[in-house]
Amino acid sequence: MLSASELLQELLKRARPLEKTETLPLSEAYNRVLAEGLTAYVSVPPLDNTAMDGYAVRSKDCREPDVRLKVTQRIAAGQVGKQLHRGEAARIFTGAPVPPGADAIVMQEDTSLDGEWVTVYKVPRPGDHIRRAGEDIQPGTSVLTPGTRMKAMHLGLAASVGRTQAKVFQQLRVAMFSTGDELAEPGKPLKPGQIYNSNRAMLHGLLTGLGVEIIDLGVVEDSREATVRVLQSAASKADVIVTTGGVSVGEEDHVKSAVEELGHIDIWKVAMKPGKPVVYGKIGETDFIGLPGNPVSAFITFCLFARPFLLKRIGAIQVLYRAYPVRAAFDWFKPGNRREFLRGLMVTGKDGAGEVRLYPNQSSGVLTSAVWADGLVDVEIGQTIIRGEWVRFIPFAELLN
């Protein structure tokens, strides 16, 4: 049985980044992975401009408080001013270019206006409230590197240097299905012995977060023939297949043997809780990842293993999540023989510092725990924890972004 870190290593070793690219307008590039670096050809901001509403002045003219200057021009954002002479001030608004001759901005709040004359109460220093041309970005700077996943701020930055489109990797095609004769689709009445299919909606959400193309194949009954049939069709149209359930050792678990019939299994089982059965194999050129059926196990194994694998497949550079040390607000006296990932919630402790609490029911079928929590407490094999000790915490923000 592999350890959780070995499994991650083995999976990443096998993940080949996509190669095919396409060029998309920024409005369609959200969540896609940049296939080339992005260099700026302009300065941001393009000109020295004011960070405040107020008056552009020559600091030489205002060496003492209460100087009176003549207001000779008005510059709104989008306009360009003219030369500012001795004894003059320009009425100016946030974002407007600083006129030639001016070297400081006086905030409106530090002045009073009387007709054409403004009194400047405060002595400005040269450069006050001026945003310098190029202080954000200089021409020729690389602003985004290949392998960046385009989130809102990346789109904004690309637009800020005048780009309308981005060269990104084509979408990875991921086929998904759930297994289990006991599964009923939400919306239909539950027959005796049935349980609603939570994994389908959950996996769909997890995959949507990665910006891949989803091929949802629904539910497959617990039989070898049906599983082989669906796998075959999935392999013909997808780059990766992700399934839940049917990978344990029971007689009703057909996924592993079906994959072996069509291809091969390289990995199965990981020493962790929840999760144990996690399968990796290949059918032709298509990767296969089989997750356990218990909803919490499926959620956690997806986040910890399938997600980094898929991130590498879609061409992303940053594929690993970060964990942070936080204080435990609980005792843990059950040293386990598998690494354990507990659902935890960050709260503010009595002294005002952050600490993590545990959901009382850590069973792998209790999806409520994952909704309540905002991350996972990572407990090593054999580890016990006393309240107040530092533990490793993996925020969901690291796993779902």
Can residue 223 be called a binding residue for ligand AMP (CB under 6 A)?
A: no
> Which one, 136 or 182, has the nearer CB to ligand AMP?
182
List the structure tokens of 2: 């592999």
Extended beta strands in 48-115, E state: 49-50, 54-57, 67-75, 88-92, 104-107, 111-114
Cα separation, 90 vs 71, whole angstroms:
5
Distance CA 345, CA 339 (A): 19
Q: Smallest gap, in angstroms, from Cβ of residue 180 to ligand AMP? A: 4
207 SS3 class: helix
Instruction: Tell me: does residue 274 bind Mg ion (CB under 5 A).
Output: no
Find where tokens 């356990």 sit.
292
Q: Per-residue contact track with ligand AMP, 161 to 180, x per CB under 6 A?
A: -----------------xxx
Cβ(90)–Cβ(73) below 8 Å: yes
The H or E element spanning position 2 is: none
* Segment 354 to 373, residues that bind ligand AMP, using CB under 6 A: none
Of 54, 245, 277, 315, the one binding Mg ion by CB under 5 A: 245
Residue 183 makes contact with ligand AMP by CB under 6 A: yes
Q: How far is the CB of 369 from ligand AMP (least distance, A)?
A: 14
Site map 226..265 versus ligand AMP, x via CB under 6 A:
------------------xxx-x-----------------
Contact indicator for 7, 305 with CB cutoff of 8 Å: yes
Regarding beta strands 195-196 and 264-268, do their DSSP bridges make them parallel or antiparallel, or are they unpaired? Answer: unpaired
* 59 belongs to the binding site for ligand AMP (CB under 6 A): no
Interaction mask 281-300, ligand AMP, x per CB under 6 A: -----------xxxx-----
Q: Which residues bind Mg ion (CB under 5 A)?
A: 180, 245-246, 293
Q: Which residues bind ligand AMP (CB under 6 A)?
A: 178-180, 182-183, 195, 197-200, 244-246, 248, 292-295
